[in-house]
Structure 1
Amino acid sequence: MKPITFAAVLLSATAITSTMSADDTASLRQNCIVCHGGVTDGKKTIQGSFDITPLLKDGIQERHTHDWVAVLEKLRDKEMPPSDSKYKLTDLERITAIDAVFAKLDRGEIQERLLTPFEIANTYAKVFGFDREIYDPF
């Protein structure tokens, strides 16, 4: 009974994950790409000097973090899409897009730790070229 329950939970989790990854940028594709990277009459349209197509093509990747932060700021402040645009995002679509990006780019908390005296000596030796014998932490 337990293996079947585990398999059912695993399959449902996989289905939820694949659905989330397929739809996480759908509203951005529909509403943003027209002005920020879409092709109209054979010409690529890029307004505001921001092309969103590489972000949407690659999905939510860590290498585009800086650009995703810019997108999130515009979405959060409701600057994009502009109020006079025919393309609109509902509050639910905004929240869904923001949450999806945060979920994929969040690394969690940074764990702090102290270096041991041996690690400090190695660091000084590698970074500053000091002889390990010269540095004595005690």
Structure 2
Amino acid sequence: MVFAGKRPNNLGISNGKLASCPNSPNCVSSQSRDASHQIAPLIFTSTPEQAITNLKQIIESLPRTKIITESKDYLYAEFKSALLGFVDDVEFYLDRTANLIHVRSASRLGQSDLGVNRKRIETIRAKFQ
């Protein structure tokens, strides 16, 4: 667990927003304004309840994943890397009015994530569609 790092204290929803990405390239967010961190939100056509249930099932089906916090409009999960046990913090915020789920995926430690956070969200998106 050397590479797990400490759980950030800035997670969650604040004024309808997830935390901003740090300057390091190891974070993506659908609410980010800059191209290096920007990623599209998930779009749903089902009910919000079905969307969050579906998302939770996808997250639970992925390896080395643990859901930490869950509410009707928010999911927070930790994803652990296979090799060294690096932990990424991944958040999902359901926007009922826009039929979107905002996403934020960030590594706790290091600088580069070799695109892992972006790939993870795209994998979840592919399963979610």
Query: Shorter-chain TM-score: which interval?
Result: under 0.3
More helix by share: 1
More relative contact order in 1 or in 2 (CA 8 Å, sep 6+)?
Answer: 2
Q: TM-score if structure 1 supplies the norm length?
A: 0.26
Q: TM-score if structure 2 supplies the norm length?
A: 0.27
Computing the radius of gyration from Cα coordinates, the structure with the larger value is 1
More strand by share: 2
